[in-house]
Amino acid sequence: MNDFDYDLFDDVDDMNPVYDDLYMPGANLWYDDDDVEEGVKVGELLELCIEPTVRDGFSHVGKLLLWCFLFRASTQLVEVPALLRHAVSAGTGLLVLHHFFRATMYYIIGFAVVSYIILFSISCFLHKYRGPVMGFVSITFLIISELFLPSKVEWHKIRGAQMLIAMKVISVAFDTDFGALQCLPSPAEFAGYLFCVGTCVFGPWVSYRDYIAIYTKPLWDMKWLRKILLNILLAFAFLTLSTCWVQWLIPDGSWRWWMAYRDSFSFRSSHYFVSFLSEASAIVSGFGHNRDEPWSMSVTKPQFIEIPRSLVQVVVYWNIPMHCWLKNYVFRTAKPLGSFAAILSTYAVSSLLHGLNFQLAAVLLSLGAYTYVEYVLRLKLATVFGACIQVRPCKKDCSHRNKEKRLYVILANVGFGIISMLHLSYLGVMFDMSSKIQEEGYNYTHTLAKWSYLSYASHWVALGTYIFYLLI
C-alpha cells in the first residue's frame, strides 16, 4: 500500500471558530470598539485577555488533571483488584463528565450502555462482522441523537465526547473480530475503558489494549512529570495565541487574506490547545509508558502543520490517534472494495462521526480532493524530474537522482508548502467562535458565504493544479 493510501485520512476536529460573518469585527473580545483606533498595549492585553483566559481555563483543566492523578495514584501505585481499578476509572471519568456536561452526560451514559448490550447480543450470534455492525449502530445513534435531541446547543457540547465513545466501541468490536482481543471485555472493563478519566472528555482515542497496559508495571519518573508540564505549558500557550495574541497582531481591517490566515491560525491554535491538553491528561493517567520510548505519545505536531511540506502531511499530524483509528478500522476494512471506495468510505465515516454538519463535510471533501490532486501531481513530477518532491520526504536510499538538498528541489517543496498554507487558511475561514450560530453548528450558507468572500480561490487553485497534472 502506498503512502497516499495510508496517510490521506484524518478527522477534522470540532473546529473552534473565531469568525463573525464576512470578516466583520467580533473577535476582539478583550477591548471595546472605542479602543480600536487607539490600539491595545501589551500590558492591557495581559490584564484584559491573557490573565483571565489562563485563569478561567485552568479552573476547569486543573480539576481534570487532579482527577487523572488521583485515578493513577489509586490504581497504579499499588496492586489493586481488577474490578476496583476499572470501577475507579469509570467513576472518576463520570465525575469529570458531570463537571463539563452536567445532566447532558446521561446521553453519553445511555449510548455506552446501549452499545454494550448490542455488542454482547450480536457476539452470541456472530463471530465476525461485529465491527461493521457496531459502526453502523454507533453512527445511527449519533445521527438520531443530533436530529431528535431537544436542544442543538446541548448536542453540540457533547458531540466530541459522544464521538470518542463511538470510536472506542467500534475499535473494541473490530479488535474482537481481528483476534486482537480473545473475548469481549466484561461490563466493568468496558466501562473503565469507555469512561477512563484521562480520555473521556478531550480524548485522545486509545485502544483497549493501551488502556489495560497502564496497569502493567506502571512507570513513575521525572520524564513523566516533565512531559506533563511541557504539554500543559504548550496547551496554554496556544490557548492565549488563539484567544488573544493573533487578533492583537493582525487587527481587523487588514488585507483579507491576512485576516483569513489570522482566523484560521486562531482556530488551529484552539485545536492545539485541546490536543496538548488531551495528551497531558492521558499521560497523567498513565498512558504512554508502554511504548518503546516511554512517554513518547503524541496527539498532534504543529510544526508539520504550520510549516507543511504537503496537505497529506497536515492531515496525518492533525490528530495522530484519529488518523490511526481511521486507517486501522475504516480504510483497511474497505480496502478490498478498491482504493477509491476505501478513500470515500474513510471520509464518509469521519464526516458522519462528527454529525450531520455541512461545514465539516465540505472541509473533509475538499481536503480529500486537494490531497489526491497534490499526491498524483507531485508523484508525476518526481518521476519526470527524478527529484525528491513527493508529498512525503524521501528515504536516504531513494532512487531519485536529485535529492532534497538540491536548490530547485528545495524551491519546489517550499512552493508546494506555501500552496498548502493557502489551502489551510481558506478551509479554516468559516470556523467562527464569535458567531451566534456556532453553538448549534454551522449551516451551508455560512460556509459558502465565507468561501465566496475569498472568491473560492482555493478551489480554483486545486482545479488549476489538477488541469496542470493532466497536461504534463
Give the active site residues. 354
Give the Cα separation of 123 and 115 in Å (integer). Answer: 12
**Are the beta carbons of 225 and 299 closer than 8 angstroms?**
no
Neighbours of 314 (CB within 10 A): 24
Grid cell of 60 as nine digits: 476547569
Q: Single out the residue of 186, 212, 185, 189 nearest to residue 87, CA to CA.
A: 189
**Are the beta carbons of 322 and 351 closer than 8 angstroms?**
no
Neighbours of 452 (CB within 10 A): 10
**3-state DSSP: the chain helix, strand, coil percent, rounded to 5?**
70, 0, 30
Continuous H helices in 18-50: 42-45
Ramachandran category for residue 11: left, alpha or beta (phi over 0 → left; psi -120 to 50 → alpha) = beta
Give the Cα separation of 208 and 215 in Å (integer). Answer: 12
What does each C-alpha distance from 294 to 274, 290, 351, 434 come to in angstroms? Answer: 22, 6, 33, 40
Annotate 306-347 with DSSP letters as a single string: HS-S-HHHHHHHHSHHHHHHHIIIIIHHHGGG-HHHHHHHHH
What does each C-alpha distance from 443 to 112, 157, 186, 359, 424 come to in angstroms? Answer: 29, 17, 41, 7, 20
